Chains A and B, each alone.
Chain A
Amino acid sequence: MASRSRVALVLRRTRISTAPSTNPLRPLSQIRWQSTATTEDAEGVAQGTTGTSKTIKFTSETYPEIKRDSKFAEITEDHVKFFKEFLGKEASVIDGVTKDATDDIEPFNGDWMRKYRGHTKLVLKPGSTQEVSKILKYCNDNMLAVVPQGGNTGLVGGSVPVFDEIVINMSRMNQIRSFDDVSGALVVDAGAILEVVDGYLAERGNIFPLDLGAKGSCQIGGNVATNAGGLRLLRYGSLHGSVLGIEAVLPDGTIVDDLSKLRKNNTGYDLKQLFVGAEGTIGIITGVSILCPQRSKAVNVAFLGLESYEKVQQAFKAAKGQLSEILSAFELMDNQSQDLVQQVTKNKRPLESEHPFYCLIETSGSNSEHDNEKLQSFLEDVMEKEIVTDGVVAENETQVRNLWGWREGIPECLGHWGGVYKYDLSIPISELYSLVEETREKVAKAGLMGDTDEHPVVDVVGYGHMGDSNLHLNVATRRYDKKVEKELEPFVYEWISKRNGSISAEHGLGLAKKAFIGYSRSDTMIALMKQIKKLYDPKGIMNPYKYI
């Protein structure tokens, strides 16, 4: 038995020859993006993935129309002294005010996509809710703007400063506070890393109701603050449903202790919901209580090739009908996205021949034979009806992970050439893919797309959570170029608006989508949101220049 793990490791190394992980002990180390970051060092991620962070343009240069709000005070040595005194430890304050700490601070200023970069000179890492409260009260009293930051894996520039906002990084608050294995209620610090928490739950037979590619770095607090969607939404629903309670700190230092473990609580306004998806604009989440379902014992994955988007829809309908309660993911990938993944990873494609579309279907249930039988008869059915052209079924865990790698690896691989324009959209399912086709045509017509260096665009690809009508339209580029942006915006947003879709299905608003909220929300809705913001953060110090 002793050599078992060794065998598995060698296997993994031989089969997944491009695994970027330098740490062979991490079990999920194939091409999940950001897997090079160790789980202990979330804030190192930006550094790890933005090897050329020095070359990222400052957000203030990319968006010259955004001006620093003069109502905010400049950080002085006195401020730093105050923070150092009560946070105590050297490691809790990264001080670029009284000395040069550019290299230490850079990872907190830049995002992993190399798209946004701020000018902060001060990073604070509180270790408790009380410390967060003290920091915020002080900042509120002194008109110092702040940016709450989790794993900094966001996609809309919400977790990095624009100017000199103080970064409040939550990574030191990473404890699991309690877990009730009867009810499944888990209480964790906001800075706990998703994969670590999920590993903890796995040992106890439960599962975190959220999963996404960045799981090795992203933090629960950030997941909740951005209302992250991810790969398990189809099965376990949105965080608005699974979050039972929240502990948060308001800008004036008030600690909102609503860490309820109750499934039901119809007493008054459900205020915790305001913090879910508020992106740190009304307070900082410091703790989360969340309902964690039983982990499925049997997981099966099939990877299918289809010849048209018509067929994809038929397959989805058939999957819902025949797999019903065990269907846990239905992911769509177009051939272009798979091409790019292959170019980067050099892995062998799961299917021998190429198909215009691929679907990844995952089932999870409690009885592997029952699930297997269902999946087999579903697959036979779609093959016989010629809905699906070809497909493979994972025969073991490693194949399960490898097949998922072809879906989860897309975001990282697209960034290989330089940058990615990302659109995360909710679209009525029947028209989901037309947007990709139209965008591709538009970009090609403008002469921006090609194989050589003078073309900024590598390819336009579409993939996403078919099960949630959520499309990721991504434009992989060699460099960020205003010409490309002009082709894409407002074209994409207008297209979405016409179909009553959402311009941000799961990524949030941050800085990137702030200006475009009007395409998805009415003036009345936006006015109401602004009232909330004003009520909770009257001085406007929380994550300024973003959201609404």
Chain B
Amino acid sequence: MAALRILVPVKRVIDYAVKPRVNKAQTAIETSGVKHSMNPFDELSIEESVRIREKKSYPHGVDEIIAFSIGPPKSVDTLRTAMAMGADRSIFVETKEGEEVEPLAVGKVIRELVKREGINLVVCGKQSIDDDAGQTGQIVAGLMGWGAATQASKVSFGEKGVEVEKEVDGGTETVRSQLPMVITTDLRLNEPRYASLPNIMKAKKKKIDKISAEELGVSLERRLKTLKVIEPPPRQGGGKVDDVDGMIAKLKELGAI
């Protein structure tokens, strides 16, 4: 059996603590001047891959962890973070600012990289928090003809194969598959580490290979068109009453009593 060659796709998204706003033209979310960071599910994927290596949970070891991103130029920062957390090197497919790539195209790019790099495990987030498509992992598995264990909350390597636990309503479901395979990660899988200073400095020396989608023979053309983006209607604020009498009066006014 060969050692693991792990590919971790990561995406640069608007920070999940920032409230997104729709742009004036109602065509997209305002991204300029907004704090961006790594998609939280992708952080979990990197962390899990690094833990598989550190804890030697796969008997034949981990050969290489490659981070991959497709997106605008600043996605390089996200790749640096991934490498500071422990990925060995990165592959970057650059797109124009504001150009959204659909999951199918991302899946095809990943398929080509998997072939080129001899990847036998793809660990990716179950969804990105910006478009919430939640398809990429499954599409990659479909294109490759691999098994896909989605929403992992625990990953372990047994004699019979890779076991993945996922949280389902009212309990846990465990699935088993053989390598090569795709695992998509869910929130309870682990607690991602902070990027430490020495590792951030080391990450600067790690390699980022740039490659274009054309070189990989994949078209990034969109099949879907976004017609309009609107904010949900604002929540109606509650009122405050001074005392019990005020509350009763209010309830009467609303016809509740």
13 CB < 8 A contacts A-B = A1-B20, A2-B132, A90-B243, A90-B245, A298-B35, A348-B191, A351-B196, A393-B195, A393-B197, A393-B200, A395-B81, A395-B195, A396-B16
Interface string of A336-355 (1 = CB under 8 A from B): 00000000000010111000
Complex Cα–Cα for A23 and B94 (A): 41
Interface string of A9-34 (1 = CB under 8 A from B): 01100110000000000010000000
Q: Is the CB of B16 within 8 A of A2?
A: no
Q: Is the CB of B187 within 8 A of A8?
A: no
Beyond the given A1-B229, A395-B194, could you list 8 further A-B residue pairs with CB under 8 A, ordered by the A residue number? A3-B129, A11-B16, A90-B243, A91-B242, A304-B197, A392-B194, A392-B195, A397-B17
Known contacts A3-B132, A397-B15; is-contact A11 B197 (Cβ 8 Å) = no
Q: Is the CB of B197 within 8 A of A391?
A: yes
Within residues 392 to 432 of chain A, which ones have a CB less than 8 A from any CB in chain B? 392-399, 401
Residues of chain B within 8 A (CB-CB) of A89 are 242-243
Judge whether A113 is part of the interface by a CB distance below 8 angstroms.
no
Residues of chain B within 8 A (CB-CB) of A15 are 191
Residues of chain B within 8 A (CB-CB) of A27 are 17
Residues of chain A within 8 A (CB-CB) of B194 are 303, 350-351, 392-395, 399
Q: Is the CB of A383 within 8 A of B15?
A: no
Say which residue of B35, B37, B191, B198 sits within 8 Å of A390 (CB atoms). Answer: B198
Q: How far is the CB of A145 from chain B (nearest CB, A)?
A: 27
Complex Cα–Cα for A2 and B132 (A): 9
Judge whether A368 is part of the interface by a CB distance below 8 angstroms.
yes
Q: How far is the CB of B186 from chain A (nearest CB, A)?
A: 10
Within residues 294 to 310 of chain A, which ones have a CB less than 8 A from any CB in chain B? 297-298, 302-304
Judge whether A379 is part of the interface by a CB distance below 8 angstroms.
yes
Complex Cα–Cα for A376 and B197 (A): 9
User: How many residues from A make CB contacts under 8 Å with B?
Assistant: 42
Judge whether B40 is part of the interface by a CB distance below 8 angstroms.
yes
Using CB atoms, name the residue of chain B closest to A352.
B196
Complex Cα–Cα for A168 and B40 (A): 47
Using CB atoms, name the residue of chain A closest to B240.
A40
Judge whether B29 is part of the interface by a CB distance below 8 angstroms.
yes
Known contacts A2-B232, A11-B40; is-contact A380 B201 (Cβ 8 Å) = yes
Say which residue of A7, A348, A391 sits within 8 Å of B16 (CB atoms). Answer: A7
Q: Is the CB of A11 within 8 A of B245?
A: no
Q: Is the CB of A397 within 8 A of B40?
A: no
Within residues 226 to 247 of chain B, which ones have a CB less than 8 A from any CB in chain A? 229, 232, 240, 242-243, 245
Residues of chain B within 8 A (CB-CB) of A351 are 194, 196
Judge whether B217 is part of the interface by a CB distance below 8 angstroms.
no
Q: Is the CB of B197 within 8 A of A396?
A: no
Judge whether B188 is part of the interface by a CB distance below 8 angstroms.
yes
Judge whether B18 is part of the interface by a CB distance below 8 angstroms.
yes
Q: Which residues of B contact A (CB under 8 A)?
A: 15-18, 20, 29, 33, 35, 37-38, 40, 81, 129-130, 132, 187-188, 191, 194-198, 200-201, 229, 232, 240, 242-243, 245
Q: Which residues of A contact B (CB under 8 A)?
A: 1-4, 7-8, 10-11, 14-15, 27, 40, 89-92, 297-298, 302-304, 348, 350-352, 368, 376, 379-380, 383, 388, 390-399, 401
Using CB atoms, name the residue of chain A closest to B16.
A8
Complex Cα–Cα for A89 and B241 (A): 11
Q: Which of B38, B188, B195 has the most CB of A within 10 A?
A: B195
Q: Is the CB of A4 within 8 A of B188?
A: no
Q: How far is the CB of A25 from chain B (nearest CB, A)?
A: 10
Top 6 nearest A-B pairs by Cβ distance? Answer: A397-B17, A396-B37, A392-B194, A391-B197, A8-B16, A91-B242
Q: Is the CB of A7 within 8 A of B129?
A: yes
Residues of chain A within 8 A (CB-CB) of B81 are 395
Q: How far is the CB of B72 from chain A (nearest CB, A)?
A: 14
Q: How far is the CB of B184 from chain A (nearest CB, A)?
A: 14
Complex Cα–Cα for A94 and B229 (A): 51
Residues of chain A within 8 A (CB-CB) of B38 are 395-396
Complex Cα–Cα for A505 and B15 (A): 37
Q: Is the CB of B196 within 8 A of A10?
A: no
Using CB atoms, name the residue of chain B closest to A27.
B17
Complex Cα–Cα for A438 and B189 (A): 46
Using CB atoms, name the residue of chain B closest to A397.
B17
Complex Cα–Cα for A393 and B194 (A): 7
Residues of chain A within 8 A (CB-CB) of B16 are 4, 7-8, 11, 396-398
Q: How far is the CB of A543 from chain B (nearest CB, A)?
A: 27
Q: How far is the CB of B230 from chain A (nearest CB, A)?
A: 10
Q: Is the CB of A391 within 8 A of B196?
A: yes
Q: Is the CB of A1 within 8 A of B243?
A: no
Residues of chain A within 8 A (CB-CB) of B232 are 2
Using CB atoms, name the residue of chain A closest to B199.
A392
Q: How far is the CB of B28 from chain A (nearest CB, A)?
A: 11
Q: Is the CB of B17 within 8 A of A1?
A: no
Q: How far is the CB of B166 from chain A (nearest CB, A)?
A: 15
Residues of chain A within 8 A (CB-CB) of B242 are 89-92
Residues of chain A within 8 A (CB-CB) of B129 are 3-4, 7-8
Residues of chain A within 8 A (CB-CB) of B196 are 351-352, 390-392
Residues of chain B within 8 A (CB-CB) of A92 are 242
Q: Is the CB of A401 within 8 A of B17?
A: yes
Residues of chain A within 8 A (CB-CB) of B29 are 1
Q: How far is the CB of B43 from chain A (nearest CB, A)?
A: 8
Residues of chain B within 8 A (CB-CB) of A396 are 15-17, 35, 37-38, 40
Complex Cα–Cα for A331 and B200 (A): 22
Residues of chain B within 8 A (CB-CB) of A390 are 196-198
Complex Cα–Cα for A304 and B196 (A): 9
Complex Cα–Cα for A229 and B186 (A): 42
Q: Is the CB of B17 within 8 A of A8?
A: yes
Complex Cα–Cα for A380 and B187 (A): 32
Q: Is the CB of B197 within 8 A of A383?
A: yes
Q: How far is the CB of B90 from chain A (nearest CB, A)?
A: 16
Q: How far is the CB of B40 from chain A (nearest CB, A)?
A: 6
Using CB atoms, name the residue of chain B closest to A302.
B197
Known contacts A1-B29, A89-B243; is-contact A368 B35 (Cβ 8 Å) = yes
Q: Is the CB of A395 within 8 A of B37?
A: yes
Q: How far is the CB of A439 from chain B (nearest CB, A)?
A: 32
Q: How far is the CB of B125 from chain A (nearest CB, A)?
A: 11
Say which residue of A90, A348, A393, A398 sits within 8 Å of B17 (CB atoms). Answer: A398
